[in-house]
A = this chain, B = another copy of it.
Amino acid sequence: MIQHMASPRDPRRNRPVTIVDVANEAGVSRQTVTRALNNMPDVSASTAARVIAAATRLNYRPNRAAQGLVGGQSVVIGFVVEDLTNPFYPELASALSGLAADRDWNVMLCDLAPPSHGHGDVRETLHSLAQRVDALVGYFPEDVWSSDQLARRIPSVVLDADQVDPEAASVSIDIAPGVEAALDHFVASGRTRIGMIDCFPDPSPRRLFYRAYLERKGLAWSSQSEAWADTTHLGGIAAATRLHEQYAEMDAVLVFNDVMAVGALKSFAHAGVRVPADCAVIGIDGLEIGQLVTPELSTLEIDRGAMARHALDLVDGMLSGALPLHGPLVQRTMTHTLVLRQSA
């Protein structure tokens, strides 16, 4: 048998090689193997060497589950996002990963919109993840979430859901203060024909608040003041282009998120709309890309570090028993901070 074809399975029987196989190969007992392989004391150097050689020869790999069963396994958080290519999620994942590492926890990543061909049902993906982790944190599709009651099966923290599930812990964002601040800023700088780019045909809470604000302030509004598209920069381009056509007098626009807002900036540049001179733009999220574009994007920033910290605190509470797993709602609420750069 050619050496580099050596298999990690014992060729004699077609099953993974275990500690017993190594023990037999080395002519020792299995606890001696444990000791030798884990650098524990009370093994003679020669025995240890013999065991290590045998393990190497057989391509032995300890079974993680067995180790976990006896030793106590670490906490694993399943982090669920809608689309990792929206920079908001990696920035959050980065924060979560760092904070988790501080507790010696691990983060299992689940991107629900992977650019893969044959990815199965989202429901199936989530259930499979739920079986492999100790808690779920993230953004969950409303329909699967409510119909499957995942929060009842596993400690879960729902991030920034439009509709808060009373059964699940959540970190939610009260958009009111932030959106109010953004719109106030528009008005304070003399803008009165304010548009909105949203992400769904059905108005999001952000859009509803925007409408209410315009009405409250007696500002102009019509269905032409609004447009919606995908939450991508291409969507932002498309929506901004449409909005510019149907509402040419628009002098300010609030955009559902920064990625779309950056698209809107491109669209405006292309159409010759000067930002902020002709039209001011404020995005939402506070992403780093906002600082990379010209003009730099003003935005409603959300603190990802704080969001991740809240989520892990809630998980910790549920895991330790200090917090109920479901039932009375446990909720942390955050608000945006208006960050003014060049676009407004």
A residues engaging B (CB < 8 A)?
A: 3-9, 59, 61, 63-69, 73-74, 76, 79, 83-85, 87, 89-91, 93-95, 97-99, 101-102, 104, 106-111, 114-120, 125, 128-129, 131-134, 154, 233, 262-263, 266, 269, 288-289, 291-294, 305, 318-321, 324-325, 327-328
Contacts and interface: CB of A to CB of B under 8 A. Distances in A.
User: How many monomers of this chain does the complex have?
Assistant: 2
17 contacts: A8-B325, A59-B325, A64-B134, A83-B94, A84-B90, A87-B90, A89-B90, A94-B111, A94-B114, A95-B116, A97-B111, A98-B115, A98-B119, A102-B116, A233-B288, A263-B292, A293-B293
A150 to B, nearest CB: 14
A41 B65 CA distance: 27
A229 to B, nearest CB: 16
A106 B94 contact: no
Given A64-B68, A109-B93, A294-B293, A319 B8 contact: yes
A110 B262 CA distance: 29
A109 B92 CA distance: 12
Contacts of A69: 63, 65-66, 69
Nearest to A79: B109
Contact of A108 (B68, B87, B108): B108
Contacts of A320: 8
B87 A109 contact: no
B327 A4 contact: yes
B328 A4 contact: yes
B107 A109 contact: yes
Contacts of A131: 64, 67
A136 to B, nearest CB: 13
A187 to B, nearest CB: 29
Contacts of A117: 102
B321 A85 contact: no
A288 B118 contact: no
B74 A85 contact: no
Contacts of A5: 321, 324
Given A5-B324, A97-B114, 13 more contacts: A7-B321, A8-B321, A65-B69, A84-B93, A84-B94, A94-B114, A97-B109, A98-B114, A101-B110, A101-B116, A106-B110, A108-B109, A263-B292
